[in-house]
């Protein structure tokens, strides 16, 4: 049940020792990049004077802006040694580019293989990868990982719903990798064809790349007849395979032999306690081409250091609550989009899609939430619909502390994307 038992179950002392050795190695490697060379000199940090993991804190954080501004100055090896590049999807501004050596591709594939093996994927499985191939790391990252594991891998790519369904039928797909919002959307295609995904041999789904709630996971599990596992990663730390759920489905194990994790208060940069939400900060421990140290991910989650019944010792993180930069301030109240999803997906009448529009009138923020309602509830009973609208408004209000204007719409009428869902449209100046 372990891909790499000795690493996955290494005790705290052993893990600490391994991390320190790898951190020294990383500092040695990263010192070859013009960017870190200068930073190390300023901080008087070297592989030789690094006595404990704590010493890393002498070094300032690395940010997305550093990556954008420094470009190739971040590389620790000559460009000619790089065999691939990926770029982040640019959800928040200009894309950042990450370069990989051949060795980096191999260690990344191994981490993804370890992650999906943990959920029960085996060489006999037929794995359909429904993530975008290309600059986005989700597609190729999983592709290499699944091949490394030995599963039959179908490089389906994103979108083209009818073809996705046909591939599943034709090849007897048992596992899928899919963006959660797309998993919900794809159900319409099954429905249109009069098919039930539960009739297929599907048993596993890997969902990630965007924040989603527990209710969304349960909906996917129920509709497809699968176990769905949360998958977390970002291109700056390879891509997928940074943290992944085990069969306990209770938090994602961060692969701490490969990533040194800090969780900080995004305002003060001080470490937070277990269970408290904070910003994830990672240091690569195994990367060669472009190691990043103390990289601020902007992703918010809490961590749990307690032992996991699965026997793995690597600490777990909660679901990603959002990014520091996707927090909305509406009428002075801080709101994360995931809060809206949590409320909506917990209501059985709500279908799979919704859209939030923010406007400002006379210095006053307005929040307009369009919600798709399931066919069976979208009756021509005005009194019923009025009541439902009222209940949704109340539920949102009690979670968000502001009163949105809710509009109920028919299923499949709101725009959607094949990649990460775009749920918020902010039209405020």
Work out how close the CB of 405 gets to ligand ADP at its nearest, in angstroms, rounded to a whole number.
27
Residue 26 contacts residue 55 (beta carbons within 8 Å): no
Taking CB under 5 A as the binding criterion, the range among 68-76, 163-171, 281-289, 307-315 that sits at the site for Zn ion is 307-315
**Which positions from 212 to 241 touch ligand ADP by CB under 6 A, shown as an x/- string?**
------------------xxxxxx------
Select from ligand ADP, Zn ion, none the partner in contact with residue 321, using the beta carbon and a kind-dependent cut-off of 5 to 8 Å.
Answer: none
Taking CB under 6 A as the binding criterion, the range among 22-30, 206-214, 221-229, 385-393 that sits at the site for ligand ADP is 206-214
CA distances, 127 to each of 145, 190, 222, 298, 343 (Å): 11, 19, 19, 31, 32
Residue 130 contacts residue 158 (beta carbons within 8 Å): yes
Torsion of CA 49, 50, 55, 59, to 10 degrees: 80
**What is the DSSP-derived secondary structure letter of residue 62?**
B
Select from Zn ion, ligand ADP, none the partner in contact with residue 88, using the beta carbon and a kind-dependent cut-off of 5 to 8 Å.
Answer: ligand ADP
Residue 251 or 322: the one with the smaller Cβ distance to Zn ion is 251
Torsion of CA 54, 56, 57, 63, to 10 degrees: -140
Contacting Zn ion within 229-248 (CB under 5 A) = 246, 248
For the chain, what is the largest distance between any 2 Cα atoms, rounded to a whole number of angstroms? 74
Torsion of CA 133, 139, 145, 150, to 10 degrees: -70
Torsion of CA 168, 247, 233, 50, to 10 degrees: -150
Work out how close the CB of 136 gets to ligand ADP at its nearest, in angstroms, rounded to a whole number.
5
**Which positions from 39 to 68 touch ligand ADP by CB under 6 A, shown as an x/- string?**
------------------------------
Select from ligand ADP, Zn ion, none the partner in contact with residue 289, using the beta carbon and a kind-dependent cut-off of 5 to 8 Å.
Answer: none
Angle at 223 between CA 417 and CA 344, to 5 degrees: 60
Work out how close the CB of 422 gets to ligand ADP at its nearest, in angstroms, rounded to a whole number.
12
Select from Zn ion, ligand ADP, none the partner in contact with residue 91, using the beta carbon and a kind-dependent cut-off of 5 to 8 Å.
Answer: ligand ADP
427 closest CA partner among 368, 370, 375, 347 = 368
404 closest CA partner among 327, 350, 344, 322 = 344
308 binds Zn ion (CB under 5 A): yes
**What is the DSSP-derived secondary structure letter of residue 32?**
T
Select from Zn ion, ligand ADP, none the partner in contact with residue 308, using the beta carbon and a kind-dependent cut-off of 5 to 8 Å.
Answer: Zn ion
Taking CB under 6 A as the binding criterion, the range among 10-18, 46-54, 85-93, 387-395 that sits at the site for ligand ADP is 85-93
Residue 10 or 234: the one with the smaller Cβ distance to ligand ADP is 234
Work out how close the CB of 238 gets to ligand ADP at its nearest, in angstroms, rounded to a whole number.
9
Pairing label, strands 424-426, 350-361: parallel
CA distances, 36 to each of 18, 44, 282 (Å): 22, 11, 15
Work out how close the CB of 247 gets to Zn ion at its nearest, in angstroms, rounded to a whole number.
7
Q: How far, rounded to the nearest angstrom, does the alpha carbon of residue 393 sit from its chain's CA centroid?
A: 29
310 binds Zn ion (CB under 5 A): yes
Residue 248 or 394: the one with the smaller Cβ distance to Zn ion is 248
CB atoms within 10 A of CB 19: 22
Binding site for Zn ion (CB under 5 A): 246, 248, 308, 310, 312
The residue ranges that bind ligand ADP (CB under 6 A) are 88-92, 136-137, 208-211, 230-235, 297, 299, 320, 323
């Amino acid at each position: 049940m372990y891909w790499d038992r000795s690493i996955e179950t290494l005790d705290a002392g052993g893990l600490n020792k391994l991390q320190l050795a790898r951190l020294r190695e990383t500092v040695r490697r990263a010192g070859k990049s013009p960017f870190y060379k200068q930073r190390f000199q300023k901080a008087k940090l070297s592989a030789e004077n690094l006595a404990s993991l704590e010493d890393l804190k002498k070094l300032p954080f690395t940010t997305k802006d550093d990556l954008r501004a420094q470009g190739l100055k971040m590389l620790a090896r000559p460009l000619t040694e790089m065999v691939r590049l990926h770029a982040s999807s640019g959800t928040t501004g200009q894309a950042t580019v990450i370069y990989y050596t051949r060795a980096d591709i191999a260690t990344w594939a191994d981490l993804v293989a370890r992650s999906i093996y943990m959920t029960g994927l085996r060489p006999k499985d037929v794995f359909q990868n429904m993530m975008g191939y290309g600059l986005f790391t989700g597609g190729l990252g999983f592709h290499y990982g699944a091949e490394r594991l030995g599963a039959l891998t179908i490089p389906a790519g994103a979108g083209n719903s009818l073809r996705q369904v046909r591939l599943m039928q034709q090849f007897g797909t048992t596992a899928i990798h899919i963006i959660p919002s797309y998993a919900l959307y794809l159900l319409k295609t099954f429905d249109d064809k009069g098919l039930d995904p539960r009739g297929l041999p599907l048993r596993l789904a890997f969902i990630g790349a965007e924040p989603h709630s527990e209710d969304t996971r349960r909906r996917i599990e129920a509709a497809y007849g699968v176990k769905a596992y949360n998958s977390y990663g970002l291109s700056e730390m390879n891509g997928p395979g940074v943290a992944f759920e085990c069969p306990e489905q209770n938090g994602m194990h961060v692969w701490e032999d490969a990533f040194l994790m800090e969780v900080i208060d995004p305002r003060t940069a001080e470490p937070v306690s277990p269970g408290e939400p904070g910003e994830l900060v990672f240091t690569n421990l195994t990367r060669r081409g472009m190691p990043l140290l103390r990289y601020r991910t902007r992703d918010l989650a809490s961590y749990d250091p307690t032992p996991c019944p699965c026997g793995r010792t690597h600490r777990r993180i909660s679901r990603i609550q959002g990014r520091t930069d996707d927090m909305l301030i509406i009428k002075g109240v801080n709101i994360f989009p995931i809060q809206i999803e949590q409320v909506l997906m917990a209501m059985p009448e709500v279908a799979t899609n919704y859209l939030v529009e923010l406007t400002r009138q006379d210095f006053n923020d307005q929040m307009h939430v369009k919600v798709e309602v399931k066919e069976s509830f979208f009756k021509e009973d005005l009194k019923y619909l009025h009541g439902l609208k009222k209940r949704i408004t109340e539920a949102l209000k009690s979670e968000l502390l502001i009163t949105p204007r809710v509009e109920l719409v028919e299923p499949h009428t709101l725009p959607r994307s094949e990649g990460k869902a775009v749920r918020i449209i902010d039209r405020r100046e």
